[in-house]
Amino acid sequence: MYDVTIKRSFSAAHVLEEVGGGCEELHGHNFLVEVTASARDLNPQGLAVDFRVLKRWTEEAIAALDHKYLNDVEYFKASSPSSENIARYIYEQLQDKARNEPFSISLVTVWESESSRVGYRTDHHD
């Protein structure tokens, strides 16, 4: 199995309800997003996943979040805009794009500070 990982970042604000402390106040983060895609085989060019494709897809997914107040983004009206749910949102967007590709999205990690990150993945891999 080959794992290919790219990084992208975005800035956004949020409020987390009922978690206590400063998180309940309006505040922002420079989120760092790492996306890993995994493939069993290489294509004829010797690549598992093209970095450029993965970066473009990630940018498309985070464009809906960048410089936004996340509590107002439709996806987060049903689920709090925590780093956990942000990771799941990005994962779902990318997995949908990868549906017909010979690779799958294996992990999305969202860093909300240099010392705190959340990873999201699903269990089903073929």
Question: Which residue numbers are catalytic?
Answer: 23, 67, 112
Compute the Cα dihedral for 124, 8, 98, 86 and give only its sign. positive
Neighbours of 12 (CB within 10 A): 20
- Locate the DSSP E strands across the chain: 2-14, 27-39, 68-69, 104-113, 116-120
